[in-house]
Copies of this chain bind each other. A is one copy, B any other.
């Protein structure tokens, strides 16, 4: 096991009818800015619950934070924060709204051009405190210090991390996810699944607890994900998926182990080039990447096949083949197609992704740094 340092200060408030606890979790006398997206929270009752819980506070709202939140929009919100002397941000939505709130929190008090936080990794030394109400389980943003922002004018998608932008609290009420479109639920399950895989399916370092926890999350998503599609109002199913998605990327399972993230990096370029959903890109790339990296990942692929998929073949190749095939079948079962051709992309589409990886200096991806843009091209060719 590698050395590690882990701290996650976010207070998780999980369960039915917990949105009302906002009142006690935002510091008294705060001036609050409510941040949200396109307005689905006005249709599913969440907006009403939130505004009721905010009735003791002075508050304003800012809506229209995009999926893949834009720098331009977020800077408008940051201006509003400064102008109105806001001292608490409340993000209500999925990963995009929460990621956006984190950037607003840092940008509003940043001295100088806030773009430097993203483009140059300028250190965040203070931030407006924030909390969140999660409506879409997927990214884990509700209890980590990471944020990804897109600058549309230059087509750059960049991230930053800071311990100062962890949400102070995250309210997770699984019942608010009942009304999500099926596609978003499915994408969320695939996203969380691949978050776990990126931190697990590398090479063994004898980190027994981390491996068992990762396997437990994968098994949970495999078991509960399809039930969310067939029993959309089953509270426990939604609760299990929501908690699994948070645990998948709150930092815990990635401590002391090697991490991969090549599937995500290649996927980001595929989204940038052709507008596929993030989870769709993961479902395409991961099975092909596992195949391409089967030697480097052999020991962990065997462990994954045996423990997660309960495969008992004595033939190792058969375990690995079947583990990859079952992974692909799971994504398909969730309704997320796994081939480029399913999205009407052919061999001609691959060169642009390879070029983007070169342009963004993504030259040595993966836990061994051996996934070059050339290898990424081969992976995509296997996913045609």
A residues apposed to B, CB below 8 Å: 1-16, 18, 205-213, 215-217, 219-220, 223-224, 236, 239-240, 243-244, 247, 255-256
Chain B nearest Cβ from A219, distance in angstroms = 6
Most buried by B among A6, A208, A210, A223: A208
A216 partner, pick from B212, B224, B256, beta carbons under 8 A: B212
C-alpha spacing A240/B211, complex, angstroms:
11
A3 partner, pick from B16, B223, B256, beta carbons under 8 A: B16
Contacts of A211 in B (CB 8 A): 216
Contact yes or no, A5 B12, CB < 8 A: yes
Contact yes or no, B5 A243, CB < 8 A: no
Most buried by B among A2, A3, A205: A3
Chain B nearest Cβ from A205, distance in angstroms = 8
How many copies of this chain? 2
Contacts of A256 in B (CB 8 A): 14-15, 239, 243
C-alpha spacing A363/B4, complex, angstroms:
44
Chain B nearest Cβ from A306, distance in angstroms = 11
Listed by A's residue number, 23 A-B pairs whose Cβ atoms lie within 8 Å are A1-B236, A1-B240, A2-B15, A3-B14, A3-B15, A4-B12, A4-B15, A5-B14, A6-B12, A7-B10, A7-B12, A15-B256, A205-B236, A206-B240, A207-B240, A208-B220, A208-B244, A209-B217, A210-B243, A212-B212, A213-B213, A213-B216, A243-B256
Contact yes or no, A209 B10, CB < 8 A: no
Closest B residue to A25 by beta carbon equals B5
A209 partner, pick from B5, B15, B240, beta carbons under 8 A: B240
Contact yes or no, A220 B212, CB < 8 A: yes
Contacts of A255 in B (CB 8 A): 12, 14
User: Given contacts A9-B7, A12-B7, is CB(A1)–CB(B239) below 8 Å?
Assistant: yes
C-alpha spacing A213/B7, complex, angstroms:
19
Contacts of A6 in B (CB 8 A): 11-12, 14
With A3-B16, A212-B217 given, can you name 5 additional A-B contacts, CB distance below 8 Å? Answer: A3-B14, A3-B18, A7-B12, A212-B213, A215-B216
Contacts of A216 in B (CB 8 A): 209, 211-213, 215-216
User: Given contacts A9-B9, A255-B14, is CB(A208)–CB(B4) below 8 Å?
Assistant: no
Closest B residue to A255 by beta carbon equals B14
Chain B nearest Cβ from A132, distance in angstroms = 14
C-alpha spacing A16/B213, complex, angstroms:
23
Chain B nearest Cβ from A303, distance in angstroms = 13
Chain B nearest Cβ from A1, distance in angstroms = 5
Contact yes or no, B5 A8, CB < 8 A: no
C-alpha spacing A68/B140, complex, angstroms:
40
Contact yes or no, A244 B209, CB < 8 A: yes
Contacts of A244 in B (CB 8 A): 208-209
Chain B nearest Cβ from A22, distance in angstroms = 13
C-alpha spacing A12/B6, complex, angstroms:
5
